Each structure stands twice: as structure tokens, then as C-alpha cells.
Amino acid sequence: MSQQPAVISLSAPVGPGDHIQGPKSAKVTVVEYGDFECPACGQAHGAVRLLRDRFGDRLCFVFRHFPLRDVHPCAELAAEAAEAAGSQHRFWQMYDLLLENQSHLTAGDLRQYAARAELDLKRFDSEMQDRLYAKRVQRDIASGKSSYIQCTPAFFVNGVLRDVSFGLEHLERAIECELGQ
């Protein structure tokens, strides 16, 4: 087993397969590895929204899946549902619904959120039954593991992991530092 480096860098650069909000040319890119069933990710959701509003076009936000299957049994299926929504250009609507309803992530709940996000339900049902997006979710998990992620939420600011275990104000300060504020 390899030893963890002192500074942990993002192993997989942001690319066309990522879910992105904000301009790709922004001075600061924040990548979150998250789990839709993780209470800390739910708490971070509101703070991340405030940061996106505060920094506007100076911030590019990227979300990647890191479902902690051992402790969150519905998280992986929720990630696949988000991907199914993404295939219909509604990833961010589903992302919000999942993080705002973390204690209700059964297959039936996911279908209700798909309806609320105005997805083609026949297509959603088919893709979920076939687990069409399982490999996509596994790709995010693999990139997280190669970036030494062990828990969620995990945030990288311009490619460097930032410790937010003592509060998201550390994330805000890291963004401000990168912006030269």
C-alpha cells in the first residue's frame, strides 16, 4: 500500500464527462466528491450553493460521486439516478432533490424525484433497471480513491484537497486565497 502524500492532489483532471456549474475558464475550480446519503454532504449542500452565489463566474463547481456503500446503502443507486437525470440534461435538478431528501432514497423515491425533475420516466425506468450508469459512478469512485478520498464531502480547490472537517469556512478561505483576496 502506498503512503499518502503530504499534499493530496486531484488524480483525474476535470473533463467533458464531469458535471460542471459555472464557466470552465473560472480562476477557481472546486471539485466535490460527495454521497447523496451522507449527512455532512447534505449540510455542505447549502454552503456550496452560497459559495457559488458569492463567487459567481469566478468559480467553477464540479460534482463527482463517492457513495460510501458500507454506511449508506441507498447512495450508489441515488448516484445512478442522478446520472440518469444527467442523460436528460437534468443532473442539477436531481442533485438538489437528492441532497434535500437524503432520508428518502429508495428506488420508489428516486422515481418520484425523476417525475418532479420532469424526466422521461419510461427512459429513466429502463436505464435504472439496466444499471446503465453503474460504470460511470464506479469511474468517479476510482478517481476518488486514487486521490486518497476516504470520506465525504471531500473538496479540491484548484486540484488540491482542502480539509473542511472543522467547517466549510476553510473552503471559502481557500477559494479567496486562490482568487487573491
Q: How confident is the model at residue 165 (pLDDT cuts 50, 70, 90)?
A: confident
**Residue 175's pLDDT is what?**
95
Give the domain CATH number at 80.
Answer: 3.40.30.10
| 69 within domain boundaries | yes
> Would you say residue 147 has pLDDT above 60?
yes
Total domains in the chain come to: 1
CA 108 to chain centroid, in Å, comes to 22
Q: How confident is the model at residue 3 (pLDDT cuts 50, 70, 90)?
A: low
Host domain of residue 86: 19-179
d(CA 71, CA 81): 19
Task: For residue 116, give every residue at least 6 positions away whose Cβ sits within 8 Å of its Cβ, in sequence order, or none.
Answer: 97
| 11 within domain boundaries | no
| 101 within domain boundaries | yes
Are 146 and 9 in contact by the 8 Å Cβ rule? The answer is no
**Do the bridges between strand 160-162 and strand 154-157 make them parallel or antiparallel, or are there none, so unpaired?**
antiparallel
Q: Is the dihedral of CA 139, 145, 147, 151 positive or negative?
A: positive
Q: Looking up cell 464557466, which residue turns up? A: 23
| 112 within domain boundaries | yes
d(CA 9, CA 56): 24
**Residue 44's pLDDT is what?**
94
| 108 within domain boundaries | yes
| 134 within domain boundaries | yes
State pLDDT tens for residues 103-144.
999 999 999 999 999 999 999 999 999 999 999 999 999 999
> Would you say residue 22 has pLDDT above 90?
yes
| 10 within domain boundaries | no
State pLDDT tens for residues 54-112.
999 999 999 999 999 999 999 999 999 999 999 999 999 999 999 999 999 999 999 99
| 8 within domain boundaries | no
d(CA 67, CA 155): 15
